[in-house]
Every structure is written in structure tokens, then in C-alpha cells.
Amino acid sequence: MTIGVPKEIKNNESRVGMTPGGVFELTKKGHTVNVQSKAGEGSGFFDKNYEKVGAVILNTLEDIYTASEMIVKVKEPIEREYPLIREGQIVFTYFHFASSEPLTKAMIASKSICIAYETVEDEEGTLPLLTPMSEVAGRMAIQQGAKYLEKPVKGRGVLLGGVPGVAPGKVLVLGAGVVGIQAAKMAAGLGAHVTILDINMKRLRYVNDVMPPHVVTEFSNEFNIRKHIKTHDLIIGGVLLKGAKAPNLITRDMLKDMRPGTVIVDVAVDQGGCVETTKPTTHEDPIYIIDDIVHYSVANMPGAVPYTSTMALTNVTLPYVLKLANLGWEKATESDDALRKGVNIIRGEVVYDEIIETFGWN
Ligand SMILES: NC(=O)c1ccc[n+]([C@@H]2O[C@H](COP(=O)([O-])OP(=O)(O)OC[C@H]3O[C@@H](n4cnc5c(N)ncnc54)[C@H](O)[C@@H]3O)[C@@H](O)[C@H]2O)c1
């Protein structure tokens, strides 16, 4: 098969859909891999690195789409790419169709085969191609939170780890899922006191088993949240209700109970956020302040660390890319239940029920 790796053109996106390691594996199996010139630069992979393992470097986005049977990328196609996608072409990437009707309509019109990273789902119901990005965002949340707790950027002026003779900072983590556990682990590593809340007792038992004693679990309810926001310096939002908007666990009126300079990092912003005052921000302008509370709510946190994120993403996508290339999409999805769940649109027909429901097309 001929596989194309375009350079991402979405604003501030420096990740790339395939590393030279991936090209190496595909060319070894006799596939051709076209990589757009400079596609990997933002993640530290240069044209010469790709060429060395057998990639064909093509200059333009148009060249890549024209010459390739399967496109492997990171973000959803954007308008300039719509007319380049053609009938029967496989596009394997994050799509998040439910959040964009124009994109969905454009992909229906293209008659391509759209396989979405975010809906590949294993037998335990987890989303293996989303997990690494939650891991990155969870770990980053503490790094960002620690930075914005500094006084010159309007934070409380607290050093999370404390120093001998001074108590460490306190971190409240809402949700003990992938984001929450990674955040708790980073905060604990810095020496902060961590309280982690969830409604899932299984998750809390797990956290309690594996974390050090300065990570404390509590059941998530309004009473406990109201109690803890008064004393914690940094609050991480990592709550997810699958397929639904995140619940507003912290409402606007609760901000006045927090100490000025408290920092909220609402990682769940991409699902609407678990704080009423959350609105999406960008890496150029990541924070805003309401009632003296610093809000950080960047919707694509992993984009700021493309070296790590590209590796983390491609580690999990490559086995599926190989399967699609070796078997073709029909046989590959027949033989792999997880990958089959990733198929969203086939030659103009939407086959993923939640998209149909979202747009009321049933
Ligand atoms: N901003 C970004 O760049 C970025 C990156 C990756 C993930 N995310 C988002 O982060 C969020 C969390 O992702 P995840 O992979 O950790 O999800 P997850 O499913 O692993 O974890 C979510 C947790 O929230 C818990 N929860 C549900 N209701 C709760 C409540 N009322 N109180 C406390 N906990 C509750 C669930 O029991 C679960 O343990 C998602 O919205 C995801 O899309 C954002």
C-alpha cells in the first residue's frame, strides 16, 4: 500500500502522524511511505531521518494526498484538505466528528474511508488511541499548575514541594481516571499533598493501593468539593462522563470560597470542562482570571510537547497502521474488533451511531 504522511496545517500543531521508526516498519513490509517535506520537524524528525529509512519525500500537501492510498495524520482534516481527499482513500486520524458538522459533511462527500483514532475501543471499553494524550495532559497539568502558582503570573505564590520547615502545597484532583492519576503522580513526586476525588470506588481503591501516603482519596460529592477548594492551592479537572458534557463540579459561586491566586487547570475543557467558568484557551494565551482565581484551560495541551506527544501517539497507532496496510481496511477491521469501532464513515455512509444521533440524522 502507499501511505501518505502530510504536514499538519492546523494552527500550532507540531505533531506528526508517523515517526521514522514507523516508516522503517512499513517499508520493511514492502509498503511505500510518502512523507511531506518538513512534516516531522516540529517533533524533531527531519526529512533526512525519514529518507534514511526509505520514505519518499514529497513537497506539497497536494502531492501527498494525490499519491497515497491511505493518509495517516494527527488532527482532523481542515478545509484546505477537504477537496484533496478522494473516493476510497483511507484517512486514519483524530476526527472528533460529533464536534463539527461541516467536517462530517465534507468527509461524507469525499466518499473516503474515515477511521477515527478516538473511537478505536478495546474489549474493556477503554480508548487506546486517546489514553496516551490523557497521560501527557495529566502530567502536564501539574507542570502548568506549578508555573501559574507563581506570584508574577497572579498565582498564590506557593512552591508545590514546600521546603524544609514549610509545608508543601496542596493539589486537589477531580477524577481518578487517566488524567487524574497521572496528575496525582506528578504532584506527589514534587512532594505536594494530593487529594483525589472520584465517584468510582474501584478507581479510588486502585489509587489508594499504588500511591504514597501523601495522596489521599475521597469520594467525590459537593460537600467534599466545597470543603477542599478552600484549602487547596491547585485544582485539576480530569472528570469524564463518556460521550457527555463534563458535569460542573465547581460552580461560579464557589470561586469566592477559594483563596486568591488559587489555580484551576481544567483538563476536561474539551468536554466543556468541570468548572462552570471554564472556557477554552490556547497555548498563546493559556490563562484568564475570574474572581482572583487563575484558570488554565488549553484544549490541546499535548500540542505543546510535540516531541513526547508524537512518540506517545505513534507508539499506539503504528500497530493499527501496519494492520491496515498489510490487510487493507476491510480485512483489517473484520479481524480486529477494536479497529472496527474506529470506522466512522464508509464511502459516504456514516456507520458510527453517535454521529447520526448528534446531528439528528436518524
Ligand atoms: N485538554 C487537553 O488537552 C486534554 C488532553 C487529553 C484528555 N483531555 C480530557 O480530559 C478528560 C479526562 O480524560 P481521562 O482520559 O482521564 O478520562 P477517564 O475516563 O480515564 O477518567 C475520568 C474519570 O472521571 C470520573 N468521574 C466521573 N464523574 C465524576 C465526578 N462527578 N466526580 C469525580 N470524578 C468523576 C470517572 O469515574 C473517571 O474515573 C476528558 O474530558 C478528556 O477528553 C483533555
The pLDDT of residue 23 is 98
Say which CATH topology domain 131-304 has: Rossmann fold (3.40.50)
Rounded CA Rg of the chain: 22
From the CB of residue 304, how many other CB atoms can be counted at a distance below 10 Å? 18
The pLDDT of residue 343 is 97
270: annotated active-site residue: yes
Q: Is the Cβ atom of 174 under 6 angstroms away from ligand 1?
A: yes
The pLDDT of residue 246 is 82
- Distance separating alpha carbons of residues 175 and 238, to the nearest angstrom: 5
CATH number for the segment(s) 2-120+306-358: 3.40.50.720
HSE-CB at 59 with a 13 A cutoff on CA atoms is 0
Contacts of 293 (CB under 8 A, 6+ apart): 255, 258, 260, 261, 262, 263, 264, 277
The pLDDT of residue 234 is 98
From the CB of residue 185, how many other CB atoms can be counted at a distance below 10 Å? 19
The 10s digit of each residue's pLDDT in 252-279 is 999 999 999 999 999 999 888 999 999 9
96: annotated active-site residue: yes
Beta-strand runs (E) in 159-262: 170-174, 193-198, 215-219, 234-237
- Domain ranges for the chain: 2-120+306-358, 131-304
| Distance from residue 152's CA to the centre of ligand 1 (Å) | 30
Report CA-CA distances (Å) from 286 to 29, 92, 177: 43, 29, 24
Q: Is the Cβ atom of 204 under 6 angstroms away from ligand 1?
A: no
Structure pTM?
Answer: 0.91
Q: Of 96, 122, 291, 292, which residue is the catalytic one?
A: 96
Q: Cell numbers for 107, please give them.
A: 468527509
Q: Is the Cβ atom of 172 under 6 angstroms away from ligand 1?
A: no
The pLDDT of residue 12 is 81
Q: Is the Cβ atom of 179 under 6 angstroms away from ligand 1?
A: yes
* 2-120+306-358 and 131-304 have identical folds: yes
Beta bridge partners of 197: 174, 218
The 10s digit of each residue's pLDDT in 215-251 is 999 999 999 999 999 999 999 999 988 666 789 999 9
| Distance from residue 241's CA to the centre of ligand 1 (Å) | 7
> 134-155 burial, b for 16+ CB within 10 Å, e for fewer?
bbbbbbbbbebbbebbeeeebb
Q: Of 233, 266, 270, 336, which residue is the catalytic one?
A: 270
Q: Cell numbers for 319, please give them.
A: 500497530
Q: Is the Cβ atom of 215 under 6 angstroms away from ligand 1?
A: no
Q: Is the Cβ atom of 137 under 6 angstroms away from ligand 1?
A: yes
Ligand 1 pocket: which of 267, 271, 305 to mutate (most atoms <8 Å of CB)?
267
The pLDDT of residue 64 is 98
The pLDDT of residue 244 is 65
| Distance from residue 326's CA to the centre of ligand 1 (Å) | 34
Burial of 230 (0-12, 13-18, 19+ CB in 10 A): exposed
Instruction: Give SS3 for 20.
Output: helix
Ligand 1 pocket: which of 94, 96, 179, 250 to mutate (most atoms <8 Å of CB)?
179
The pLDDT of residue 243 is 61
The pLDDT of residue 241 is 81
Which residue's CA lies nearest to atom 7 of ligand 1? 134
Among 15, 17, 58, 52, which residue's Cα sits nearest to residue 34?
A: 58
What are the pLDDT tens digits along the chain (362 aa)?
999 999 999 878 899 999 999 999 999 999 999 999 999 999 999 999 999 999 999 999 999 999 999 999 999 999 999 999 999 999 999 998 887 899 999 999 999 999 999 999 999 989 999 999 999 999 999 999 999 999 999 999 999 999 999 999 999 999 999 999 999 999 999 999 999 999 999 999 999 999 999 999 999 999 999 999 999 999 999 998 866 678 999 999 999 999 999 999 999 998 889 999 999 999 999 999 999 999 999 988 999 999 999 999 999 999 999 999 999 999 999 999 999 999 999 999 999 998 898 889 88
